[in-house]
Structure 1
Amino acid sequence: MKILAKAPFGLLIVFLLLHPFAGKAQNMPLANAFSHNDYQHKLPLFDAIDNGYTYIEADVYVHKNRLVVTHVLPLIHHHRTLEGLYLQPLAEYISANNGQIYPGYNHPVTLMIDIKSDPAKTYALLRPLLEKYRSMLNGPVRVVLSGNKPYGLVKADTAKLVTLDADLRKINRNAPGDSTFLAMASCKYSKLLKWKGTGALSMRDKQRLTAYVDQAHLYGAKVRLWHSPDSPVVWNQLLQCGVDLINTDKLSRLRNFLEQKAPVTEHSKSVISPVSQ
């Protein structure tokens, strides 16, 4: 792969030693696949791409004036920066693959940045960093901010480099006035459903979930429930209720489920999605 010639030496060595798909055809992109806490995988970003994921999440924390990828205070992984782990590799990968992440896939791959530190301080560091990679944004890559979201700063920023993830349960209240700012609507699974996949999902729960999903779709937002059970039974029910994105840490397991279940969408023959858009 051409990207290896440009990759930092450390990343190159790790890629060659651990990457099981090097030199093989990529998996088909999956419109419903969301790589939760992607940075915890053996090869952040690349494992997700090789499994066809079109949504990838990185938690970000400000540490010593840098954006470090971590879920909690970065005492151990302070060297893993957002740029080094995601933005630079994405730019190099896209450059080496004719301006795309997946050949023939004409939709952006979403990088969700889940802000764990102060939103204003984080955005102050993030804004110039994204400007550096502007050429790939709003094209092959889209950035969505979640967690501690800097609503006011994003709305006031004329650069339009990011979109936002709303709270699904409060979407009528916290959705920005301009719908172009809103890309997703998320909620913790247990806040809406207690069902673990045993027995049938009650009609009441189905109707409640579907109502939230329909409301989010009115704003053009893709719906995700995080910390949902990693169960094909649950995944199937979520898709039937209109949930757009299946949140998982089990990359290959969800890929296999979607590939076996899903028809090819009419939007792109290279995209697998069991959810009608």
Structure 2
Amino acid sequence: MKAPVAILSKKLLKTGIFVLLLLDLQSARSQSIPLPNAFAHNDYCHPHPLFDALDNGYTNIEADIFLEEGDLIVAHIYPFFRAEKTLETLYLQPLADRIAKNNGQVYKGYTTPIVLLIDIKTGANNTYSALKLLLEKYRSILSSYDNGKVTQRAITIVLSGHKPYQMIKSETNRLAFIDEDLRKTAMDTTAANVYKLASCKYSKMLSWNGNGDFPVSEKNKLCAYVSMAHKFGKKVRLWASPEKNSVWQELLKCGVDLINTDKLVDLKNFLITYKSSYGNSTVMLPINNIEVN
């Protein structure tokens, strides 16, 4: 028979370990720990654009832009924008200031580039021409493509919406990449030096709403598309997905790299818990950091 003191010591040890794990989880939730899989959809709609996302550890941030009288205005719908809310004032300059303070990084100690996804709402070529001039001001912090070589820096610019495909593909030197249609990955196998991401609207790929089991046929379909994108070094995102833990979990299990959300805190808490629960899982894991030259 074990001595009461020994039994008590073991119980106290287990309790202590549990408390430490709980405190560690709570600490992670309260700090800006970089989350490689977190994507802030329509970030500018939050009370504090950019900063709310960064405070919650987001490493992928989206901004919609309109070209209006030479300025790149951040807004979701054309009639509802304010001239002072430009891409530069809301995103590029604050990011540059933060990087300067953090020794060249958005998050101290986090060397993977932060993705700024720019969704072009006006004409692709005209808007990109204006964007190129602006990006040149921030060349020192932006990932670049130069004569066949990709150089990773603190921020990677990826273009979505009205995409200037031909302009991007014809350039030998540029500071932007493209978000590809995930469903066309097998047809256009251009490498990640052009396409950094491959995205698709959730409802165009899947019908599962997060209730019950994830249908095997849909899971196999998604995993096949993810595998194809990963083969060419492209990270995967499904936008407008149900904002449910069950959906987020299955997307990650299929290897989807970026979880799209409007609920910054909810996804942050889920990802922290998911990492603790599934960190040693043998399921198909997302690719957190791809470097393709």
* TM tier, smaller: 0.7 to 0.9
CA contact (8 A) 2:41 2:261 kept: yes
Q: Match for 1:238: what amino acid?
A: L
Question: Is 1:162 the counterpart of 2:172 in the alignment?
Answer: no
> Which residue of structure 2 aligns with residue 223 of structure 1?
236
CA contact (8 A) 1:146 1:164 kept: yes
TM-score for the superposition, normalised by structure 1: 0.84
Q: Deviations over 1:215-258 (max 9, x none)?
A: 11111111000000110011001111111110000001000000
CA contact (8 A) 1:182 1:219 kept: no
> Which residue of structure 1 aligns with residue 17 of structure 2?
none
Question: Is 1:122 the counterpart of 2:127 in the alignment?
Answer: yes
Q: Match for 1:151: what amino acid?
A: Y
> Which residue of structure 2 aligns with residue 28 of structure 1?
33
CA contact (8 A) 2:35 2:59 kept: yes
Q: Deviations over 1:129-151 (max 9, x none)?
A: 00110000011111001111101
Aligned mates of 1:78, 1:103 — CA distance in 2: 32
Matches of residues 1-277 of structure 1 in structure 2 within 5 Å?
Answer: 26-138=31-143, 139-176=153-190, 178-263=191-276, 275-277=285-287
TM-score for the superposition, normalised by structure 2: 0.80
TM-superposed deviation, 1:182: 1.2
CA contact (8 A) 2:180 2:198 kept: yes
> Aligned residues, how many?
245
Secondary structure (helix, strand or coil) at the match of 1:210 reads helix
Q: Match for 1:204: what amino acid?
A: S
Secondary structure (helix, strand or coil) at the match of 2:186 reads helix
Q: Deviations over 1:117-175 (max 9, x none)?
A: 10011011000100110000011111001111101111222222011100001112345
Change (3 A) 1:248 1:169: same
Q: Deviations over 1:36-84 (max 9, x none)?
A: 0000001101111110000000011111111111122144323211011
Aligned mates of 2:39, 2:89 — CA distance in 1: 21
CA contact (8 A) 1:68 1:74 kept: no
CA contact (8 A) 1:166 1:175 kept: no
Aligned mates of 1:135, 1:196 — CA distance in 2: 43
Q: Deviations over 1:17-45 (max 9, x none)?
A: xxxxxxxx842100100000000001101
Aligned mates of 1:249, 1:75 — CA distance in 2: 19
Aligned mates of 1:167, 1:190 — CA distance in 2: 14
Where structure 2 has 5 or more consecutive residues not aligned to the other structure, the ranges are: 1-29, 144-152, 288-293
Aligned mates of 1:179, 1:192 — CA distance in 2: 22
RMSD: 1.9
Q: Deviations over 1:158-211 (max 9, x none)?
A: 2220111000011123453x5311110000000011111111111100101111
CA contact (8 A) 1:91 1:136 kept: yes
Q: Match for 1:246: what amino acid?
A: I
> Which residue of structure 1 aligns with residue 4 of structure 2?
none
Q: Match for 2:246: what amino acid?
A: V
Rg (Cα) greater in structure: 2
CA contact (8 A) 2:74 2:81 kept: no
The percentage of aligned residue pairs carrying the same residue is 51
